[in-house]
Structure 1
Amino acid sequence: MAKRLFLTAIVAGLLAVTLLPDRGLSQAADKVTLQLKWVTQAQFAGYYAAKAKGLYEAEKLDVTIRPGGPDIVPEQVVAGGGAQFGIDWLPSLLSARDQGAPLVNIGQVFAYSGMREIAFKSSGIKGAGDLKGRRVAVWFGGNEFELLATLEKHKIDRNKDVTLIQQPFDMNLLLQKKVDAAAAMTYNEYKQVLDAGVKPDDLVVIDFNKEGTAMLEDGIFAKADWIADARNKQVAARFLRASLKGWELCKDKPAECVEIVLKESPVLGREHQAWMMTEINKLVWGPPAPGSPLGKMDPAAFKQTADIALKFGVIKKPAGDGAYTLAIWELAQKK
């Protein structure tokens, strides 16, 4: 009798274990990789914050964040299967799609362009219309199109009315007054000019957002066929949801996000990263307040970017709405 009771207890115990949910399998984290467009800096603070503060982990994601660099093309990495998600400017994504890469924007993080053209007030330049007859520096290789669209808007012939100069990735040409105007990102090169002792009041800043010629910058993309899979679509939604929470954290606690970035890479230093964090938040959140919620593509901003890309040869065919999807963003809102 005692033996029978013992066996019964064992069987009951085994049944109980069998009926319990397999927590190891059901809660195993999905491993994904995010390919950045550039090196570790506050430009990508929202993603580093999402990882450091456990926001990805809370979504059952094991995320590897891979820094970029001058020889890394995020579109190539994602299209080749080296990462599930990538960060890049929209024109670069449109160009990759135009060449056959099966990629799609799943979340637009930056609502505004950080690209500016700046000049010394002493040059006599007061605005974009005064660039006629001037030596104007800009980064070529995909960064010049906002300037070209602005010149066209002001009826300045790029071939006859202005001398365009290939700009190195520094501000020496402007600081040495070898050019009349030069390109600068609000969160990087503009700060370099100020660090050289120039006062903001000494500068004229041409803002392409105000000119109506801005192009969308940092957005999240993935392979279209990868997110077509129902399970991957859920993974993408969880990734986007956690990433956007990371950006919300950086809006509310920018100093904390700066420390998170510095822990990953101290190269640029606290002062520069803090400046960058402040300026990046403006590109994400405004002012003015963006026309769409965080992460949701603004159709008007997309059209403006796509139209400029087509006009100046970034793409040969109209981009079409298939270049982005709202499905992942909508799915990310449901939890």
Structure 2
Amino acid sequence: MTHSTRRLVAAGALVVTGALVLAACSGGSGGSGDGDASGDAGSGDLTPVKLQLQWLPQGQFAGYFAAQEQGFFEEEGLEVEIIPSGGDIVPQDALNNGDVDYAIAWVPKVLGSIEAGANVTEIAQIFQRSGTLQVSWADSGIDSVADFEGKKIGSWGFGNEWEIFAAMAEEGLDSSTVEIITQDFNMNAFLQGDIDAAQAMTYNEYAQLLEAVDPETGEQYTPDDFSVISYEETAGAMLQDAIWADTERLESDEEYQDTTVKFLKAAIKGWVYAAENPEEASEITLAAGSAWGPSHELWMVNETNKLIWPSPDGIGYIDEAAWNKTVEGALAAVNETGARLISEEPPSSAWTNEWIEKAHDELADEDIDLTGDGFTPIDVTLEEGGN
């Protein structure tokens, strides 16, 4: 089967995110500054808190927007400002610099920052599973990472690539055997035939393919058109969206410690709300500024929920085995320039379950499903263009 024509035509159906990056909001100045999250209240007796996201408003962060919109933060005495990024703000840097109080970021990205001197600590692992995929055409012959040899493999870079290189290392592959192609945050290069296998997230870029139209049939693509490798099923799987806090303040500031537990409790309630009310959660993120269409946004919330639930030890709990696997992958990964993500084990201060366990304990008497035992994803129909 020849795909060159369909790629060129279908590429125009995808959303180009470059303009969104330029439009991303800045964290600005005058945040927590020297970092007192328990300082003067921003509204009445509420404690002002700044949360730095790692991307633009979208279903990936539905739980935090739901916690804000449903009043869960306010119930805990917090006034939370949710600050988007778009590639222009590195969350862990904003946190380390004292510009914000908490940050959402992938674990491998922060491991590199910690080795470079960032004094931050993971306090909750929201995503229990990796959502990263490598997508190729069904007839490409690329059915596993071992099949990358001699192929053009798309990678976003910017710290999103380390699962690819960790999985390749396990197969004995490197940039001398695999051609790494820098990929934009969309699927255009794949549809145009510039790369053999594209990096994608279950909740975003994969949906972009399924909502695009195959010019040969006039119908939207289906999963049967693609071969999908999930990094969760490989040695390269790494922990992704986690909540990070300031290490020094966690160790010495009792008011920050108290705020941390309150923040986690409200965030938990937000994510439980998103699991139980995905349609409403998608409407909340759309209202918060997401630029995606409604069916794409609902898909995103639903797929994000799948990465969180079930959480056998309770939402946000950091599984030591998964953490160690992430570290092992980070130590093994070597990118196309020959650079390594980290060269040694991170310090013990890099993560702790102390604060999420306290949040769980304080929520124990409330009627909240912390493990997601009853979670069932919904069926979402992607409309053309995500509309």
Contact preservation (8 Å) 1:51, 1:63: yes
- Which residue of structure 1 lines up, in the alignment, with residue 349 of structure 2? 322
2:83 counterpart of 1:58: no
Contact preservation (8 Å) 2:59, 2:297: yes
SS of the residue 1:258 aligns to = helix
Q: Distance in 2 between matches of 1:89 and 1:115?
A: 12
- Which residue of structure 1 lines up, in the alignment, with residue 206 of structure 2? 190
Q: Distance in 2 between matches of 1:125 and 1:193?
A: 17
- Of residues 44, 48, 54 in structure 2, which corresponds to 1:31? 48
What one-letter code is carried by the residue in structure 1 that aligns with 2:266? Answer: A
Q: Distance in 2 between matches of 1:324 and 1:269?
A: 36
List 4+ stretches of structure 1 deviating above 4 A. Answer: none
- Which residue of structure 1 lines up, in the alignment, with residue 155 of structure 2? 138
Q: Distance in 2 between matches of 1:209 and 1:102?
A: 28
SS of the residue 2:200 aligns to = strand
Q: Distance in 2 between matches of 1:76 and 1:39?
A: 17
Q: Distance in 2 between matches of 1:148 and 1:55?
A: 39
Q: CA RMSD in A?
A: 1.6
Q: Distance in 1 between matches of 2:299 and 2:104?
A: 21
What one-letter code is carried by the residue in structure 2 that aligns with 1:88? Answer: A
Shift in Å at residue 210 of structure 1?
Answer: 1.0
Q: Distance in 1 between matches of 2:243 and 2:82?
A: 13
- Of residues 161, 164, 170 in structure 1, which corresponds to 2:177? 161
Q: Distance in 2 between matches of 1:84 and 1:153?
A: 37
Shift in Å at residue 78 of structure 1?
Answer: 1.2
Which stretches in structure 1 are left out of the alignment for 5+ residues?
1-23
Q: Distance in 2 between matches of 1:324 and 1:215?
A: 15
Higher CA-based Rg: 1
- Of residues 282, 290, 310 in structure 2, which corresponds to 1:258? 282
Contact preservation (8 Å) 1:158, 1:164: no
- Which residue of structure 2 lines up, in the alignment, with residue 13 of structure 1? none
- Of residues 236, 240, 244 in structure 1, which corresponds to 2:260? 236
| Deviation string, structure 1 residues 123-182 (Cα, Å, up to 9, x no partner) | 122222222221211122322221112222223x21332222111222122112222111
Q: Distance in 2 between matches of 1:320 and 1:244?
A: 27
- Of residues 119, 122, 127 in structure 1, which corresponds to 2:139? 122
- Of residues 110, 121, 131 in structure 2, which corresponds to 1:104? 121
Q: Distance in 2 between matches of 1:167 and 1:37?
A: 18
| Deviation string, structure 1 residues 98-138 (Cα, Å, up to 9, x no partner) | 11111001111011111110111111222222222212111
**TM-score normalised according to structure 1 size:** 0.87
Deviates more, 1:249-258 or 1:312-321: 312-321
Q: Distance in 2 between matches of 1:169 and 1:319?
A: 29
Q: Structure 2 matches for 1:214-229, cutoff 5 A?
A: 214-228=237-251, 229=253
- Which residue of structure 1 lines up, in the alignment, with residue 270 of structure 2? 246
SS of the residue 2:150 aligns to = coil
| Deviation string, structure 1 residues 195-250 (Cα, Å, up to 9, x no partner) | 22322111111011111321111111111111221221111001001101100110
Which stretches in structure 2 are left out of the alignment for 5+ residues?
1-40, 214-220, 334-339, 363-387
2:317 counterpart of 1:270: no
Indicate how the Cα distance of structure 1 residues 161 and 291 shifts in structure 2: closer, same or farther if over 3 A, else same.
Answer: farther
Q: Structure 2 matches for 1:281-292, cutoff 5 A?
A: 281-285=305-309, 289-292=310-313
| Deviation string, structure 1 residues 236-273 (Cα, Å, up to 9, x no partner) | 00100110110011000011111111111152121111
Contact preservation (8 Å) 1:119, 1:180: yes
**TM-score normalised according to structure 2 size:** 0.76
| Deviation string, structure 1 residues 32-72 (Cα, Å, up to 9, x no partner) | 11011111111111001001111111111111111112110
What one-letter code is carried by the residue in structure 1 that aligns with 2:260? Answer: A
SS of the residue 1:117 aligns to = strand
| Deviation string, structure 1 residues 275-296 (Cα, Å, up to 9, x no partner) | 10011011111xxx44532111
SS of the residue 2:361 aligns to = coil
Q: Distance in 2 between matches of 1:160 and 1:100?
A: 31
Contact preservation (8 Å) 1:113, 1:209: yes
Q: Structure 2 matches for 1:8-23, cutoff 5 A?
A: none
Q: Distance in 2 between matches of 1:124 and 1:334?
A: 50
Contact preservation (8 Å) 1:120, 1:202: yes
Indicate how the Cα distance of structure 1 residues 205 and 45 shifts in structure 2: closer, same or farther if over 3 A, else same.
Answer: same
Contact preservation (8 Å) 2:50, 2:100: yes
Instruction: Provide the aligned length of Structure 1 versus Structure 2.
Output: 306
Greater share of helix: 1
SS of the residue 2:295 aligns to = helix
What one-letter code is carried by the residue in structure 1 that aligns with 2:293? Answer: G
Q: Distance in 2 between matches of 1:280 and 1:223?
A: 26
Shift in Å at residue 184 of structure 1?
Answer: 0.6
What one-letter code is carried by the residue in structure 2 that aligns with 1:239? Answer: F
Contact preservation (8 Å) 1:291, 1:298: no
2:220 counterpart of 1:204: no
Q: Distance in 2 between matches of 1:89 and 1:139?
A: 14
Q: Distance in 1 between matches of 2:290 and 2:199?
A: 26
